[in-house]
């Protein structure tokens, strides 16, 4: 007795399904938005650096840091003192004002000693991965470094765990340093 089996077409069905899947994959549209965004941000970063706008320094539209406050005053008197444009110095496209020619000269001898940490952005903001405007009247000098804060409430919060917040901000700053604030805070 010979038994005949009807051709189930199983092999043909699986081949057909496989071909349909391959065809569907080939017809999938690749989402290029992430690539376009990456190129846009790379060009934005290149343009800001090419035109001297350093995203790692909090400056106004004229390139003035610390809203014109004297960076040396924080260390000499422990106060925020508004500088004078007649005593100014420009370092890497960033301009600083001083209350006297003597303070200007002191700054020029060792600028890294006096510039605010994290480019003058709010230290607590940097700790949470943001670049908020640092208020030059809300500051602290900790271990010989100048830190600015967004406002007095933020200063209180930051000071409650200052060592921890500095450690976090020190790890975060290299990651966000070159990203413009407008992009980062969006």
- Tell me the C-alpha distance between 23 and 5, whole Å: 32
Per-residue pLDDT, averaged over 24-38, amounts to: 58
Instruction: Tell me the pLDDT tens digit for each residue of 107-141.
Output: 999 999 999 999 999 999 999 999 999 999 999 99
pTM: 0.72
Burial of 84: CB neighbours in 10 Å, binned 0-12, 13-18, 19+:
middle
Is the CB of residue 129 less than 8 Å from the CB of residue 142?
no
């Amino acid at each position: 007795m010979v038994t005949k089996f009807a051709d189930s077409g199983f092999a043909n069905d699986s081949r057909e399904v496989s071909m349909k899947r391959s065809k569907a994959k080939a017809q999938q549209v690749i989402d290029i938005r992430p690539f376009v965004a990456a190129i846009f941000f790379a060009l934005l970063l290149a343009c800001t650096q090419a035109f001297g706008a350093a995203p790692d320094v909090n400056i106004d539209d004229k390139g003035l840091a610390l809203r014109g406050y004297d960076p040396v005053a924080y260390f000499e008197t422990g106060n925020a003192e508004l500088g004078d444009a007649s005593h100014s110095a420009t370092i890497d496209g960033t301009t600083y004002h001083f209350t006297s020619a003597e303070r200007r000269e002191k700054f020029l001898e060792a600028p890294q000693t006096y510039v605010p940490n994290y480019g003058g952005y709010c230290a607590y903001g940097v700790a949470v991965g943001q670049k908020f405007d640092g208020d030059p009247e809300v500051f602290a000098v900790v271990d010989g470094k100048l830190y600015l804060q967004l406002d007095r409430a933020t200063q209180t919060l930051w000071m409650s765990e200052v060592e921890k917040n500095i450690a976090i901000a020190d790890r975060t700053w290299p990651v966000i340093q070159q990203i413009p604030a407008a992009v980062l805070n969006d």
